[in-house]
Amino acid sequence: MKILKFDLIIVGGGVAGLWTLNRAVQSGYNAILLEKDTLGGGQTIRSQGIIHGGTKYALNGVLTQASNTIKEMPQRWRDCLEGKGEIDLTDVNILSDAHYMWSKGSLGSKMTTFFATKAFRGRVEEVKKEKRPTVFQNKAFKGSLYRLNELVLDVPSVVDALRKPVEDRIYQYDFTQAEIEQNGEQISAINLQDNNLKLIPGKLLLTSGEGFEKIASQLKIEQPEMQRRPLHMVMVKHNHNLPTFAHCIGTGSKPVATITTHPCSDGKQIWYLGGDVAETGVDRSNEEQIAYAQKAISDLLPWIDLSTAEWRCLRVDRAEPKQSTLVRPDSAFAQQVGNCIVSWPTKLALSPDLADQALEFCQHNAENSSEPSELSELGKPATTQPVWETSFA
C-alpha cells in the first residue's frame, strides 16, 4: 500500500472542519480533509447563517457565560469578510449586515436598562422609525425594534470561500469504510483498502457532527459522548420582497421565533423559521407544525399576507458534546483522546474558536510530508445545495 503521512487529518467538511483546515495550512501543518458526502451538507447548511453575538442568550436580563463566550465572534467574522482577518471571506454573500430583535409591545424598562449597560454597548441599539427594515415600516407595527451587531451569511457561499484556498487538500471518502490500526488510544494508521492507501495521522480531528457516534464506535472512543438536541424548522416560500432577519421576543428567555430570509433559485424568497417555534415543535407532526407556524407568524406579523405561500418542515438534530441536563453547551468543544481530537463547534459562529482549540493539540513533524495530490484518485466532494432547493422541488 502507498503510505502517506500528515500532521493532521480532518474528518468532516462542514464550516468547522473547513475553517480548521485553512488555519492549519496557514500555520504550516501538512493537513487534509475527508468528507463522505457534500461539503457543508450536515448541520452547516441547516443553520440560519446567523453569526451570533450572544444577545439572545441574555433575554432574561442576565449576562450569561454563553453570551460572553460568543460576543467576539461577529467582529472576527467581519474582519474576514472585509479581507483583513485570518481567512479571506471577501467572496461570501452577506444576506444582512445586522440581525434585529423585535417585540410586539414595548420592551420593558428592565430589559431596556439592561441593553443600555456597558456590557452591551455596540452590540444592541434601538432603531428609529425611519431606519427600520421594510417589514417593520408598516403602520400596524407598534412594538420595539433593536439592531444587533450580528451578521447573516449565505452559508453555501461561506463553504465555497473556505474550500477555495485549500481545494487541493479536500477529498471525498467515507471514513467509516476505512480499516483502523490502533495501539490503545493511539491511531497508528487509517487503511483505505479499496484505494490501496495507508494514511498515517499525527492527529485526527473529528468535526463530523452527527456522524461522530458511528466513528466513535469504530475508534472505540467512550468519552466524550454526543448529545442530539432536536429542532423542527419551518420554511415559507413567498413572493414578497421583504428580507427579514429578526428574533421576536416575548416574556421568556428564548426568542418566540427567529426569522432569516434566503434567496431561492426561482427568484422567490424563503423565510426560515427557528427559535421557540422550532424547539417546541419537535413533538408535532409536519401538518401540526405548519399550522402552528402559520398562526405564530399571523400573530407576530399580521400585516403580511402569506395566503399563497408554500410551507415545508425540516427536522434538524444539533450534535453537541453531551451535557448532564441536555442543555446547550456554552462554547465550542475540543478534547484530545490519544491522538484523536473530538470536537463540536456548537454554533456556526464559533467555528473560529473551535479551530483555535483544535490547533493547540497539533505538532509539526518533518516526516509528515506526503503530498496531498497523492490522494487525487479519491475525487472531490461538491458543495451542498440549500435545503429549500430540494424541499420545494
**pLDDT for the residue 327:** 75
Sign of CA dihedral 41, 360, 333, 154: negative
pLDDT band at 109 (very low <50, low <70, confident <90, very high): low
313 domain-assigned = yes
Give alpha helix (H) positions in 169-307: 212-219, 276-280, 286-300
Chain-centre distance for alpha carbon 55: 17
Count of residues making up the chain: 393
> What is the tens place of the pLDDT at every residue in 192-241?
999 999 999 999 999 999 999 999 999 999 999 999 999 999 999 999 99
CA distances from 42 to 11, 106, 166, 380 (A): 13, 38, 20, 17
Are 6 and 21 in a shared domain? yes
Residue spans of beta strands (DSSP E) within the chain: 2-11, 31-35, 94-96, 99-103, 124-126, 144-148, 152-153, 170-172, 179-183, 186-192, 197-206, 226-238, 246-249, 255-263, 269-274, 310-321, 333-337, 340-344
Average confidence score pLDDT of the chain: 93
Cell of 191: 487503511
Among 279, 301, 317, identify where a domain stops: 317
CA pair distance 25, 121, nearest whole angstrom: 36
Domain count, the chain: 2
pLDDT band at 324 (very low <50, low <70, confident <90, very high): confident
50 domain-assigned = no
> What is the tens place of the pLDDT at every residue in 250-291?
877 788 999 999 999 999 999 999 999 999 999 999 999 999
Are 169 and 25 in a shared domain? yes
- Can you give the residue range of the structural domain that contains 10? 2-44+158-225+323-391
Are 129 and 203 in a shared domain? no
Residue 27: CATH number of its domain: 3.50.50.60
Strands 152-153 and 144-148, bridge-based pairing = unpaired
Are 143 and 252 in a shared domain? yes
Among 317, 345, 372, identify where a domain stops: 317
Are 187 and 306 in a shared domain? no
Category of 271 on φ-ψ map: left (φ > 0), alpha (ψ -120 to 50) or beta: beta
> What is the tens place of the pLDDT at every residue in 143-199?
889 999 999 999 999 999 999 999 999 999 999 999 999 998 999 999 999 999 999
Are 246 and 377 in a shared domain? no
**pLDDT for the residue 254:** 83
CA pair distance 164, 319, nearest whole angstrom: 26
CA pair distance 77, 104, nearest whole angstrom: 31
**pLDDT for the residue 118:** 73
334 domain-assigned = yes
Q: Which residues contact 280 (CB under 8 A, 6 or more apart)?
A: none
Residue 305: CATH number of its domain: 3.30.9.10
**pLDDT for the residue 108:** 67
Answer whether residue 52 shows pLDDT above 80: yes
90 domain-assigned = no
88 domain-assigned = no
**Measured at the alpha carbon of residue 130, what is the angle toward residues 126 and 136, in degrees to the nearest 5?**
75
> What is the tens place of the pLDDT at every residue in 78-101?
999 999 999 999 999 999 999 999
Are 283 and 140 in a shared domain? yes
Are 261 and 287 in a shared domain? yes
202 domain-assigned = yes
Are 146 and 272 in a shared domain? yes
86 domain-assigned = no
With beta carbons less than 8 A apart as the criterion, state whether 21 and 33 touch: yes
